[in-house]
Amino acid sequence: MDKLVAQIPKNAREAIRIELNEYKGKQLASIRVWADKGDGSPAIATPKGLTVSIALLPRINAALTEAELEARAAGLLE
């Protein structure tokens, strides 16, 4: 399974892509920076990112939710 779940703009030339992939029979989740080379060719994956077992997604999601709550409590997000 290769599925693009979300693409979030990072800046004018880069985006963060969240994808579900399969590699050698293992189900993986990838959060990676993709860059537009600016020459009209398709964006390419950069080494900046993380690929983990899908089984870790609930723990990562919980940690990100906690980070968001902490950022809100500190006044860093509205």
Amino acid identity of 4? Answer: L
Confidence of residue 40 (pLDDT cuts 50, 70, 90): confident
Asked if residue 22 lies in contact with residue 50, where contact means CB atoms within 8 angstroms, the answer is no
- The mean pLDDT value of the chain amounts to 95
* Domain boundaries defined on the chain: 3-73
3-73 belongs to which homologous superfamily?
Transcriptional Coactivator Pc4; Chain A (2.30.31.10)
Question: For position 7, what pLDDT does the model report?
Answer: 97
Whether 49 shows a pLDDT value over 90: the answer reads yes
Q: What is the pTM of this model?
A: 0.85
**How far apart (Å, rounded) are the C-alpha atoms in residues 70 and 17?**
24
Amino acid identity of 33? Answer: V
Neighbours of 20 (CB within 10 A): 15
- The pLDDT tens digits of the residues spanning 1-30 come to 799 999 999 999 999 999 999 999 999 999
